[in-house]
Amino acid sequence: MQKGQSNFFIGGLYALMTAALLATQAPLSFLGAKQLSVAEFIAVTELVLLLCVPFMIWTRGSREQFLALLSSASNLAKFGVLLLIGLIGIVLYAFGLGRGHPVVIAAVLNLDPFWAAVIAYLVAGKRIPTRFLPLHSA
């Protein structure tokens, strides 16, 4: 198998795994939210995200980039702004969606990646890296 094909295969596997995890996220989050208080639910969610950091910095290149991000004062200020925006968003979600219809709540929450990309572009000036796939292979 050629290197380009294996990358598409691995990318396809990642995409399928992501789709499966996203499909199970809402039902499992709903069950967790019913059993926990708001503060407990947010704490558990943030703890799980924190536990995922070692997987994100698994490779040497990722670790170097991660340390470079954390060692810059300007980046820490940007992280602080993003943290503040995220906290304001959580409070607004609690007030705005507290009595909403479940379909509307699911639609709004499913747009989180879009809004995260918009905020990252506005605050940090970073676009999400994309590339066009060839329409046909040679």
Distance between CA atoms of 20 and 45, rounded to whole angstroms?
Answer: 18
Cβ(81)–Cβ(92) below 8 Å = no
Sorting pLDDT into bands at 50, 70 and 90, what band is 138?
Answer: very low
* Helix axes of 3-35 and 38-51: crossing angle, nearest 10 degrees: 160
Handedness of CA 16, 3, 128, 125 (dihedral sign): positive
Name which of 124, 119, 97 is nearest 108 in CA terms: 97
43 and 76 in a single domain? The answer is no
Domain count, the chain: 2
* Residue 137 within any structural domain of the chain: no
What pTM, to 2 d.p., does this model score?
0.43
Please tell me whether residues 35 and 81 are part of one structural domain: no
Confirm whether 72 is domain-assigned: yes
For the stretch 70-99, pLDDT in tens is 888 888 888 888 888 878 877 887 777 777
Please report where in the chains the tokens 């294996």 appear, as a residue: 6
Task: Please compute, for residue 91, the number of CA atoms within 13 A of its CA located in the half-sphere on the CB side.
Answer: 6
pLDDT digits (tens, 9 = 90+) for 48-68: 888 888 887 788 888 888 888
